[in-house]
Structure 1
Amino acid sequence: MSTLSHRCTSQRRPASQPAHWLLLLVLSWLITALGHMAYAAGSVELQASLGFNGAYATGYLTPVWVQLHNRGAALLVQLVLSESAKTPQRTRQTVKITRSLRLPQGAQQRYELEFPLIKPNSFVADKGELLLALQAGERTLAQQTISLSAYRGFSDPLFLLLGDRPAPASLPDGRPLLAITPAELPGHWAGYRGVARLYLGRFNLDSLSAAQRGALQNWLRSGGELVVLLGDNWYFQQSKMLAELLPFVPQDLQLSPLDGRDRPISQGQVRGTVLQRSAAGDPLLIRRRFGRGAVYAVTVDLLALGDGPEERVLWHALQVAAPDVQSGQPRLGDEILAGLKLVQPSRLILAGALLLYLGGFAALGLLTGRTRRLYLVIALWVGLISLGLLLYLQRPVYTRPLRSIEVGEIWARGDRAFLRDWYSVFAQRETRLKLLLAPEVAVRQVASSHDLNWTLTPEQNRLQLKLGREQMVHLLLEQPISFPVTFKVQPAGADVRAAQIDVYNDSDRPLVGAVLWWQDRFYWLGTIGAHDKLQRVLGMGLSTFPLSKQDKEFSIKQRLLASAESGFSPEPMALLAWVQQAYLGGLPGEYRRVLQLAIVAGQ
């Protein structure tokens, strides 16, 4: 018996050896994975800063600079930025941005993200914190907390200065002037959203990166302002980019009297609107429109002047030159959105249907005992009324769970344009919105405080919102776009009896109700199809924009025109038209009204 038992035992031992080896392999793999996780978690360094020279504008998109140093193996990670704060409406709002990144082994890379800092509640002393975390799956590799109280927060957009000369800390009107370095200029136009003006001193714009130059131009198209301080700075400023933007072509530098002293004033060719001249007749301030923004040339270095009468007048002329200092704010956002009325079933139609019902049943009662044919006619009458009312109430405008409106402005010059789109959506029931946006789109909320969850990828951005039952959210979306619409006006002369216009619409969107603004008059052109050409002799001009009060979009069109007038009226000529195709992709179960005003500046 013992021999048999020994044999059985000796036969079992070889079967247990593979299990031991498998257990050892699993333990080895776990130890290696844990070691790799611990190594990876400590191998990435994260450093971050935000704003311009330690300052930012509250409630605006602000550039956040993130420096990552990967000392370990290559990683696929997510950079998460988040802020939670109490809003002026005393509700807590959370904004979260997630960006996917690939970190090569040993890489040292600098990233820029535009973060919509929440405008804090004025009754709360703490300005809040911006949390940054670098994550790989569920693991946090590195993190940093930026206390906003360590930065200077301003309620209005900032005034920046780029140049190597010492400058005053504030402008003559008392507003702070922040001197910045070239590295602080954003590479994405939305990073300028909290900037009102950029003053350019001794600096060559061609030394900026291609992304920085493109961001600067798109910011100007969106409504930004560039003030170029010439004088003896011009020798250091000459660049190809500035030559394209500047409303003045400097050719010489002369000492000319200004406030009783000889000052170096640039002399050259004016190709813009002269807003201010010296007592000696020299042009001092010239402006040129660039999309919705403007470029100013000051032929003398204002920051190097004293406090004489002419200099104060020049500063004042520059201060009032722009009608709207708050270049980052939407001009009419709240007005349009506050005036938005959701389409409801017509009371007249419902009342009429009820009267027809009552009339049918009353006739049925009076005709009791009469022929059956009358019963059939009245029953058919009631049935048709019921069917018509049912079909009326089943229209998409009443049955879709989401109702929205998209209203925008398109400012175009050449084949490039800038779109400013207000988007409002009303949810009849609780829902989650997922908006797919182009990478160049910048988004911020208007008159609402819902949580934002924004995921950034190289191909497209995904914005997620959660809406409760019968809630509405208002968004402002802005982006540079291609809008190839050009026109040419030939005035009346010896060879042409009457003025005529040629319009080339190479875009894929029809231009509805096009009107030419020229010589302070409006000329009706009509509809120009997509990829179509219009040639027309101009008739009698109108003193006001042709807009019918019977138009169902009359109130919105009126607001859009009032907002755009300050932009197109100084132009020698401009083409205005309505575009009724959405730029923002549709959502499942959505009924949307769309209207954009396109303003094309003449060359």
Structure 2
Amino acid sequence: MSGWKVRGGSNFILLILLVSSFTLSASDLTTDLMLGFNGSIKLGSRAPVSVSLINSGKEISGELKLELKQGSLFQQELYTVTYSRKIELPANSRKRYFFVLPFKSFTLPLRVSITSADQRIFEREIDLKQHLSREQLILVLSRRISLDFLKAFSAEPARVIYPHPEYLPESWNGYEGVDLLVLHDISLAHIRPVQVRAIEEWLYSGGRLVITGGVHILSRDNSPIKELMPVELLGIEVLDRPGALELPEKLPVVDSRLISGKALLKEEDTPLIVRQKRGKGFIFFMAFDSSEAPLSDWPGKVALWQQMLSQESTGLYPDPGIEEKRGDAELLLSGLVKNPELKYPPHTVLLAFLLGYLGLQLLLIGGPLLKKRRPALKWLLVMSLSFLFAASGYYLFNQLLFREETALISLAVIEPSWQQGLARVKGELALISSCNRDYQLKIANKDTAVTQWLPGHKLKPAYSFEVRRQSDTAVLIVRMGELRARYFRLDTVIDLPIGGKIQEGDGIVTLRVENRSSFTISGAVLSARGSIFKIGALPPGVTKITTGSPLTGPAADGTVVSALIYGSNLQGRGGLESGMKEAMLESLRSRELADIMIIGWIKEQVLPIETEGSFLKRQNLSLVYLPINSDEVF
């Protein structure tokens, strides 16, 4: 008995030591969270979240999770969106992890947790209401707080924020709530290439960037940002009373040579203000610093900054509640779900199987072969035939022909930038399954923004999903449960270089287009100021030249273009692919066409998605919608 007490005491002491060890490891972990930009998040937009972890104890291996509730607390219609990453923290180390979260509501807190060895070692809830901002967000990268005057120049209430470059987003969609980004009087030695890429992709998606002049801009430390500049920097030049600015005194400016874009203001051969279009966005370059003398009281400063702040809205993102609204995706995907090709099993195969079974049974019961046989033998044969058909039916329908129980359908609209190499991809993803199981979809681009689309359903926990970042992929984890279909919107920027030259003169349009991407653009057409010209297929690496007759002819609306792109492709085949094309045509018909643009479609999977297991159907289709800036027409 005493031995038992000793062992029990030893076990109790061991338990205390284990708990103490766990508590120590948790206390050795220090966390630092940065929400949005210096703690400011615009309502209804995505924003960056950085989590800094300092481990002053033993090695920690686990998972970092950020959980957001979506839906209505008042109506008790909620589901959870989880963003997670694996973490590895060696002893006495420090690491920072970046996320981009969609802050659609500020009613419920953000939950941050860390799990290691199936134990939760850290958990914290953050009240989002303290970080809410309804104002325009102007980000200024500067050594000095010298651009606060921009608040007075904005037509809407604005907030000027001076974030540290290290906390800039690593993904383009982290800038969703930003109205203007200004690079001013700062060394960008610590800005990482991935952050520069994020700014570049944000510009293609509709962002606005202002780069101001000064000695700092010539520093080697700013070499990453020089890739974004529309000018070649040559040095510092002192202008003697520049007439373009109506300034009665000398002004030091950055001497430069225009590479691309348009010089809005120049003094002889020196560009002073340059505007360059990047995709849907703009870059402004100013060869001077308007916050310093003699321009600090310059009358033209107000009009200059108001022009940059009042550019038409970027149109980057839909209304915060769009994921619950009816749109093209609902018309598209809900029709595809009902497609006969997705029903299990196909009616024709099932009918043939039943007719074969009934025919053989009738032959056994009433046929001449068994008329003189004993009834017991006859019924034994009938039962044996039933068992044989049951086994063969299981093998045929479940193991041989229809092992794949799921369909994955992806549709996208691709908006490339002429000559500039990047493209915005807005995709719709449907996962249709008859099984109650988890699915993991690995999306090749880790910066893809994933939003759930809920077609008229009431929100509930079954709609929860998780986005896990693994290396260079974003893993979407969903559970079907009692739901037959799950719908998601994907939004990202990819490399898709398409370029060439377009000339216009004497009523003739000549287009030289080169497809430098890895995709084949099928059924391409050129729509130019009221006329439509057929280009045809554009395989990778192929250059085509198209010459159009005088600019008269059919109105270049979406209906005419869609008929020319697809022609008879929609006839005859039917089925799932035809339904997808019909849906894409409907999207094209509803679009307002630009004066000059190229339209076509891509059947390959533009945004690679890997899945575990096999699928009953896997269909992809993308509409290419490429407006050409009038400044690029010669």
Please report the TM-score for the alignment, with normalisation by the length of structure 2: 0.68
Q: Summarize deviations over 1:154-193 as a string: whole Å, max 9, x none.
A: 3x76321111232216151232222222122123333223
How far residue 67 of structure 1 moved from its aligned partner, in angstroms, is 1.6
Q: Matches of 1:433 and 1:534 in 2, distance apart?
A: 41
Is the contact between residue 523 and residue 537 of structure 2 (CA under 8 Å) also seen in structure 1?
yes
Could you tell me which of 512, 522, 535 is aligned with 1:501? 512
Which residue of 2 is the match for residue 407 of structure 1? 412
Conserved? CA contact 2:206–2:314, under 8 Å: no
Pair 1:253–1:590, CA change in 2 (3 A)? farther
The residue number in structure 2 matching 1:40 is 25
Task: Tell me the equivalent position of 2:100.
Answer: 114
Distance of 1:211 and 1:345 partners within structure 2: 42
* SS class of match (2:162): strand
Quote the residue 2:180 is aligned against.
197
| Contact 1:422 1:474 (C-alpha < 8 Å) held by counterparts | no
Q: How does 1:335-414 map to 2 (within 5 A)?
A: 335-340=327-332, 342-343=335-336, 344=338, 404-412=409-417
The equivalent of 2:262 in structure 1 is 274
1:418: which partner in 2? 423
Q: Does 1:295 align with 2:305?
A: no
Q: Paired residue for 2:227?
A: 244
- The farther-off stretch of 274-283 and 127-136 is 274-283
Seen in structure 2, the aligned counterparts of structure 1 residues 520 and 29 have a Cα distance that, compared at 3 Å, is farther
Cα contact 2:443–2:610 (8 A) shared by 1: no
> Hey, what's the Cα distance between the residues in 2 that align with 1:541 and 1:528?
24
**Greater mean deviation of Cα atoms: 418-427 or 307-316:** 307-316
Asked whether 1:525 is paired with 2:535, we answer: yes
Aligned with residue 455 of structure 1, among 459, 468, 472:
468
Which of 205, 208, 217 is matched with 2:191 structurally? 208
Matched, 1:475 2:467: no
Provide the residue aligned with 1:375 in structure 2. none
Structure 1, 293-302 or 323-332: larger mean CA deviation: 323-332
Counterparts of 1:554 and 1:263, CA distance in 2: 63
State whether residues 445 and 475 of structure 1, in contact with CA within 8 Å, keep that contact through their aligned partners in structure 2.
yes
Distance across 1 between alignment mates of 2:147 and 2:617: 53
CA change 1:211–1:549 in 2 (3 A) is closer
Deviation at 1:306?
A: 6.3
Which shifted more, 264-273 or 96-105? 264-273
Q: Aligned partners of 2:263, 2:591: CA distance in 1, in Å?
A: 22
Structure 2 equivalent of residue 132 of structure 1: 112
Residue 55, structure 1, aligned to residue 45, structure 2 = no
| Equivalent residue in structure 2 for 1:318, among 308, 311, 320 | 308
Q: Deviations over 1:575-594 (max 9, x none)?
A: 54321223253763456452
**Distance in 2 between the 1:69 and 1:472 partners?**
42
State the secondary structure of the residue aligned to 2:314.
Answer: coil
How many correspondences in the alignment? 518
The 2-side partners of 1:558 and 1:171 are apart by: 44
8 A Cα contact 1:196 1:224, kept in partner:
yes
The residue that corresponds to 1:547 in the other structure is 561
Change (3 A) 1:327 1:138: same
2:621 pairs with 575, 580, 594, which one?
594
Computed over aligned residues only, the root mean square deviation of the Cα atoms, in angstroms, reads 4.5
**Cα distance in 2 for residues equivalent to 1:133 and 1:112:** 15
Match of 2:84 in 1: 98
Q: Deviations over 1:355-378 (max 9, x none)?
A: xxxxxxxxxxxxxxxxxxxxxxxx
Shift of 1:282: 8.4
SS in 2 for 1:176: strand
Aligned counterpart for 1:64 among listed residues 40, 49, 58:
49
Distance 1:561 1:219, change over 3 A: farther
Q: Which amino acid aligns with 1:288?
A: Q
Contact kept, 8 Å, 1:231 with 1:253, in 2: the verdict is no
> Deviation digits for residues 473-502 of structure 1, max 9, x if unmatched?
553323343435554669999xxx995736
SS of match in other structure, 2:147: coil
CA distance in structure 2 between the aligned counterparts of 1:320 and 1:598, rounded to whole angstroms:
26
| Cα distance in structure 2, aligned partners of 1:517 and 1:286 | 29
The answer on whether the counterparts of 1:576 and 1:598 sit within 8 Å (CA) in structure 2 is: yes
Evaluate the alpha carbon distance shift between residue 498 and residue 313 of structure 1 in structure 2; reply closer, same or farther with a 3 A threshold: closer
- For 1:183, what is the secondary structure of its paired residue? helix
In 2: Cα distance, 1:266 partner to 1:522 partner: 45
**Larger Cα Rg: Structure 1 or Structure 2?**
1
Q: Is the 8 A contact 2:433 2:480 kept in 1?
A: no
Say whether 1:80 aligns with 2:65. yes
TM-score, normalised relative to structure 1: 0.71
* 1:585 pairs with 2:609: yes
Which residues in structure 2 correspond to 1:551-562 (within 5 Å)?
Answer: 553=581, 556-557=584-585, 559=587
The answer for unaligned runs of 5 or more in structure 1 is: 1-16, 121-126, 347-395
What is the percentage of aligned positions where both structures have the same residue?
17
After TM superposition, give the deviation of residue 73 of structure 1 in Å: 1.7
Structure 2 distance, partners of 1:50, 1:561, is: 41
Distance in 2 of aligned mates of 1:326 and 1:499: 31
Who is 1:124 aligned against?
A: none
Alignment pair present for 1:167 and 2:151: no
**2:395 aligned partner:** none
SS in 2 for 1:245: coil
- Contact 2:405–2:435 at 8 Å: present in 1 too? no
Determine the structure 2 residue equivalent to 1:10: none
Letter in 1 for 2:525: V
Show structure 2 runs of 5+ residues with no match.
341-400, 571-580
